[in-house]
Amino acid sequence: MTFVLDRLALVREQLDHLYEVRERVPDAAALRADLALHNDVLFALLVICQQVIDIAGELSARRGISADSYRKAIRNLGRDERFPAELVRELEGLPGFRNVLIHQDVDLDAKRAVTALRTLEAVERFVAIVRAIEAADDTTT
């Protein structure tokens, strides 16, 4: 496998896991009430955020585009016509959310985590586009 495919596999694994557990998280109170579930959901969201950022950085590097910050790596996706502008806008919040998950977990608003749990479609679209890019690159090499 490649750097990107390895990371896509991690994203897929965590997305599938979140789909399995999200019925147990009807609201923020449920997330706060179960420490194991809380930690499970936050870790899966963190892994997804970091892997999307890492993939975006790799795609930037492949095109010779500077990505000197996580946010810039995500924004650089917009320089590739395969990534619709609205998708890039949806993904732009991932670096900030990742930072909150890592640095401010104590103050994390559980509602924000529940919202993220309910809005995974942008990540799914990202995964599909990157898979197509990798498949196309694989056939040209």
Residue 105 clears pLDDT 70, i.e. is over it:
no
Q: CA–CA separation, 21 vs 4, rounded Å?
A: 26
What span, in angstroms and rounded, lies between the C-alpha atoms of 121 and 87? 10
Average pLDDT over residues 100-107: 76
Q: Are 57 and 94 spatial neighbours (Cβ–Cβ below 8 Å)?
A: no
Displacement of CA 84 from its chain's centroid (Å): 16
CB 110 within 8 A of CB 28: yes
For the segment 41-57, the average pLDDT, to the nearest whole number, is 97
Write down all domains in the chain, each with its CATH number in brackets.
3-140 (1.20.120.580)
Return the exposure string of 17-51: e unless at least 16 CB atoms fall within 10 Å of the residue's CB, then b: bbeeeeeebeeeeebeeeeeebebbbebbbbbbbb
Residue-wise pLDDT for 67-88, tens only, equals 999 999 999 999 999 999 999 9
DSSP 7: H
Residue 109: band (very low, low, confident or very high) from pLDDT cuts 50, 70, 90: confident
Smallest CA-to-CA distance from 51 within 16, 98, 102 is with 98
Strand, helix or coil for residue 1: coil
Q: What is the pLDDT of residue 108?
A: 78
